[in-house]
């Protein structure tokens, strides 16, 4: 069996991939909204454990074509060690066509273009990046550890290295007062980055997080359903992907939206308008989840 510890998370698109847990926790672990690694001390797993898991995957999943490396920002693994890990994976699992990984701003900051290109040569083909917002005030409030300008620079570096970029953004994370500013600036940043995939999640305040504390004291107020729909509409209206997908169909969303850009953009805006007018049903609360 694979040696998994704690909460193992993966992107929906990696559902059929081999999941290799190379790190435990998240090296940043300061985002106000995130409950995933609360109280977990970050560490990189030892080489013997990783080799054992890779060899188990070799026997158990000989036909699986994709592998995903977790936990939260596994790209933070120092370049020499990550390169060696990828080389081991490719030696033991030559059938793989793509390897994916989560990345934080901190992790991308520590990898040069040349290093990313070298990792790309070892089939690291897609990076999942939690962008969350394009608004600097919001990024500071949620302790993201970066700015919109740096995010643009880091994401472009990954793309220049030949990697596919999949980003997530958060509806409602700026709170009620800054909702539409966050939406516009996030859309503008997404337009500048032009990622292949965008996933929009509605903020769900989880007990035990800093965001939950802020909500309890009244310094953070989540927009209501209508406000969240208006924010999503504003974000989509300001997002112009040359080609790609904008998905707001995660279980947290009240109105599932899936856009093949640019073809479906206007139809999506019309669907949101219909929902705002009460002509389309929204998900019930019991149907929503993280």
Q: Whose CA is closest to 246, among 260, 232, 233, 235?
A: 260
Residues 6+ positions from 84 with CB-CB distance below 8 Å: none
Q: 249 with 258: CB under 8 angstroms?
A: yes
Q: Given strand 98-103, what is the order of strands in its sheet? A: 18-21, 66-70, 98-103, 124-132, 164-171, 197-202, 244-248, 257-261
Q: Global pTM? A: 0.94
Q: 100 with 123: CB under 8 angstroms?
A: no
Q: CB atoms < 10 A from the CB of 169, how many? A: 25
Q: How many domains does the chain have?
A: 1
In a domain? residue 6: no
- The predicted pLDDT at position 290 comes to 64
In a domain? residue 5: no
- The predicted pLDDT at position 87 comes to 98
In a domain? residue 4: no
What does residue 152 show for φ and ψ, rounded to 5 degrees?
Answer: -60, -45
In a domain? residue 260: yes
Domain hosting residue 193, numbered range:
12-287
CATH code at 50? 3.20.20.70
In a domain? residue 3: no
- The predicted pLDDT at position 7 comes to 85
Segment-wise mean pLDDT, segments of 10 residues, the chain, 290 residues: 92 95 95 94 96 98 97 95 98 98 96 98 98 98 97 98 97 98 98 97 95 98 96 97 91 88 95 93 75
How far apart, in whole angstroms, are the C-alpha atoms of residue 28 and residue 111? Answer: 16
Q: CB atoms < 10 A from the CB of 130, how many? A: 21
CA angle 17, 206, 103 (to 5 degrees): 40
Q: Could you tell me whether strands 244-248 and 257-261 are parallel, antiparallel, or unpaired per DSSP bridges?
A: antiparallel
Q: 231 with 171: CB under 8 angstroms?
A: yes
- The predicted pLDDT at position 101 comes to 98
How far apart, in whole angstroms, are the C-alpha atoms of residue 19 and residue 8? Answer: 9
């Amino acid at each position: 069996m694979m040696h998994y510890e704690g909460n193992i998370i993966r992107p929906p698109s990696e559902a059929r991939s081999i999941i290799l847990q190379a790190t435990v926790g998240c090296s940043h672990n300061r985002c106000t909204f995130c409950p995933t690694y609360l109280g977990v001390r970050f560490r990189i797993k030892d080489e013997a454990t990783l080799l054992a898991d890779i060899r188990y995957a070799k026997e158990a999943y000989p036909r699986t074509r994709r592998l995903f490396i977790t936990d939260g920002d596994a790209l933070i693994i120092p370049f020499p060690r990550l390169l060696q890990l990828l080389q081991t994976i490719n030696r033991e699992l030559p059938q793989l066509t793509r390897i994916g990984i989560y990345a934080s701003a901190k992790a991308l900051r520590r990898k040069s273009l040349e290093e990313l290109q070298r990792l790309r040569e070892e089939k690291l083909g897609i990076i999942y990046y939690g962008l969350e917002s394009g608004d600097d005030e919001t990024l500071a409030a949620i302790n993201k550890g970066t700015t919109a300008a740096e995010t643009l620079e880091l994401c472009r570096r990954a793309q220049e290295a030949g990697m596919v970029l999949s980003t997530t953004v958060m509806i409602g994370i700026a709170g009620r007062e800054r909702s539409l500013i966050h939406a516009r600036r996030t859309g503008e940043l997404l337009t500048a980055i032009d990622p292949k995939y965008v996933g929009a999640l509605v903020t769900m305040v989880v007990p035990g997080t800093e965001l939950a504390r802020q909500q309890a004291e009244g310094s953070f107020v989540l927009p209501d359903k209508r406000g969240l729909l208006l924010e999503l509409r504003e974000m989509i209206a300001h997002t112009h992907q040359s080609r790609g997908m904008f998905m707001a169909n995660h279980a947290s969303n009240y109105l599932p939206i899936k856009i093949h850009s640019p073809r479906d953009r206007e139809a999506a805006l019309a669907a949101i308008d219909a929902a705002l007018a009460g002509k389309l049903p929204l998900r019930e609360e019991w149907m929503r989840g993280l």
